[in-house]
Amino acid sequence: MGDIVELKRELLKDVDLAEQLLGRERPVKTEVEIRGKITRSMVEEISRIKKEPDWMRRLRLRSLELFYKLPWPKWLTGIEVLDLDEMVYYAKPEAERASSWDELPKEIREYYEKLGLPELEARFLAGLVGVFDSETVYARIKKYLEEKGVIVLPMEEAVQKYPDLVKQYFMRVFPPSDHKFAALHGALWSGGTFIYVPPGVKIREPIESFFLIGRSGEGQFEHSLIVAGEGAYVEWIEGCSAPRLSRFSFHDGMVEAYAHRNATIKIITVQNWSKDVINLNNKRAIAEEGARVDWVEGSIGSKITYVYPSTILKGDNSATRSAVVTIAKGPYLKDSGSKVVHVGKNTRSQIINKTISADGGINVYRGIVRVVRGARNATANVECESLILDDKSKAHTYPHNQVDEPTASVNHEATTGRLTEQQLFYLTSRGLTEDEAKSLIVLGFLEDVLRELPFEYATVLTKVVQLEFSEYGAFG
């Protein structure tokens, strides 16, 4: 208990980037709210509200059993600050699903406007889905997507409209049996986006989903599933944020992706939760023959984040690239690491992990490369770079390689850079404040990853980094 009080004290004095953007939590009317102990009847009620087919109800209940049975994962430290018997596990805001911004209740619309989403959508996106608390409040996709047979739907709507399609993939890429909180996710999932791109269809404009947590003590369990048919191409951008909350909220989301033969799926996440969100991500993709799955993860906010974009290179000649950038500035923990399993022949993976620790922040890299026997000529390159900006901050790297195929080649490079007194003095002697100097170093450190992002997102991420390192907000 003492620890929690201590944590809260730290949080209160801290300047929060998400708070700068979104302010403090404001009341939003809810139509339905389910809170308290996690029970079978709670899970059944969520299923009932969503008018789910029986297979989904059973999947939820099976997941709940697993949640009860499975042990607490050892790597999930810090999650104890949550009182799992006291949280709101389902909150449906009092809002009809809107397909234009005017239809949204003002207090919800304001959040999205502050994030600049309506403008971004008009300029840049093929479609946008907005999830607030547990439900989708906004969804609109450009007409040409429908004409090409692309499906972009809130997850629960997809379950009802395309049960056979969804059922083939849903929690088959990331089964609930994986760990206790994957199981909890399976039991309580709500919200999220389903994307299906038919064979041969290439969508060059990205589709974005934006997740907002609007209240304290909430659990958000959104589930997104992206399926690309043979030869298809799709880019999905995921953004998350929250206003400053008075108690910890919990995010236990899941992303599953399935790239069929020669398909390409690109997933970009810009995570900027406020600093009272405990953020657990379950992300996994399967790539069939010749397919490609790319992950870019920019993890800025949250109190604690656990994020491990993972790809199973199932088919021959499939490939993946995962670039994860995490910033832990202040009393925060980022536990990250990409995971790749090479199953097919000639599979290729590239993992780039960059962490920035400042003001007592801690980064942990926990990646895995597995090459199973028979994955002939598989190649994996792992680059871990840590930047530590002061003596109070830490970075730990725990790479794990398991190579059971003699023809495979796995390279791992890890470097740690520490901002030295000499460097800081040098840059301040050029007229930069310490924060500006740090921001310059951080942006330089991230340059190669930023360059790969779509321009709009590189700009957003650059701004975010500058804000993080600018106590007076003079930057940008």
- Please state, in angstroms and rounded to a whole number, the distance separating the CA atoms of residues 112 and 109: 5
**Sole residue written with tokens 């993939």:** 169
| Residue with smaller CB distance to another protein, 33 or 390 | 390
The b/e string for 254-291 (b: 16+ C-beta within 10 A; e otherwise) is bbbbbbbbbbbbbbbbbbbbbbbbbbbbbbbbbbbbbb
- Please state, in angstroms and rounded to a whole number, the distance separating the CA atoms of residues 51 and 179: 27
436: contact with another protein by CB under 8 A? yes
| Residue with smaller CB distance to another protein, 262 or 462 | 462
From 71-79, 84-92, 142-150, 434-442, give the range in contact with another protein by CB under 8 A.
434-442
CB of 328 to another protein, least distance (A): 18
CB of 447 to another protein, least distance (A): 7
CB of 383 to another protein, least distance (A): 14
CB of 335 to another protein, least distance (A): 24
From 53-61, 110-118, 242-250, 430-438, give the range in contact with another protein by CB under 8 A.
430-438
456: contact with another protein by CB under 8 A? no
| Residue with smaller CB distance to another protein, 82 or 443 | 443
- Please state, in angstroms and rounded to a whole number, the distance separating the CA atoms of residues 142 and 99: 11
CB of 442 to another protein, least distance (A): 8
CB of 216 to another protein, least distance (A): 34
| Beta partners for residue 92, in sequence order | 32
CB of 475 to another protein, least distance (A): 7
E-state strands within 205-276: 207-212, 219-220, 223-228, 233-241, 249-259, 264-272
Restricting to residues 387-416, name those near another protein by CB under 8 A. Answer: 387
443: contact with another protein by CB under 8 A? yes
CB of 461 to another protein, least distance (A): 12
472: contact with another protein by CB under 8 A? no
Give φ, ψ of 85 to 5 degrees. Answer: -85, 0
Among 38, 70, 440, 458, binds another protein (CB under 8 A): 440
From 79-87, 138-146, 298-306, 444-452, give the range in contact with another protein by CB under 8 A.
444-452
Among 432, 452, 456, 458, binds another protein (CB under 8 A): 432
Q: Half-sphere exposure of 274 toward its Cβ, with a 13 Å CA cutoff?
A: 27
* Three-state DSSP string of 298-313: EECCCCEEEECCEEEE
Among 1, 164, 429, 472, binds another protein (CB under 8 A): 429
Among 427, 449, 453, 467, binds another protein (CB under 8 A): 427
CB of 325 to another protein, least distance (A): 13
425: contact with another protein by CB under 8 A? yes
CA angle 391, 397, 402 (to 5 degrees): 170
430: contact with another protein by CB under 8 A? yes
420: contact with another protein by CB under 8 A? yes
428: contact with another protein by CB under 8 A? yes
Among 68, 72, 426, 455, binds another protein (CB under 8 A): 426
* Rg of the chain taking only CA atoms, in angstroms: 21
Q: How many CB atoms lie within 10 A of CB 164?
A: 6
- Please state, in angstroms and rounded to a whole number, the distance separating the CA atoms of residues 380 and 392: 33
Contact 264, 233 (CB under 8 A): yes
Q: Half-sphere exposure of 117 toward its Cβ, with a 13 Å CA cutoff?
A: 31
| Residue with smaller CB distance to another protein, 94 or 447 | 447
CB of 444 to another protein, least distance (A): 3
CB of 92 to another protein, least distance (A): 41
Task: Report which DSSP code applies to 36.
Answer: S
Among 445, 464, 467, 469, binds another protein (CB under 8 A): 445
Residue 358's alpha-carbon distances to 33, 361, 437, 474, in angstroms, are 38, 5, 13, 19
Count of residues that bind another protein according to CB under 8 A: 27
Contact 166, 159 (CB under 8 A): yes
Contact 420, 389 (CB under 8 A): no
68: contact with another protein by CB under 8 A? no
- Please state, in angstroms and rounded to a whole number, the distance separating the CA atoms of residues 474 and 324: 27
Among 3, 31, 447, 471, binds another protein (CB under 8 A): 447
Restricting to residues 1-20, name those near another protein by CB under 8 A. Answer: none
Is residue 54 classed exposed, middle or buried when 0-12, 13-18 and 19+ CB atoms within 10 A define those classes? exposed
Among 78, 163, 417, 454, binds another protein (CB under 8 A): 417
Residue 191's alpha-carbon distances to 63, 213, 389, in angstroms, are 17, 12, 38
Q: Which residues bind another protein (CB under 8 A)?
A: 387, 417, 420-423, 425-433, 436, 440-441, 443-445, 447, 462, 466, 474-476
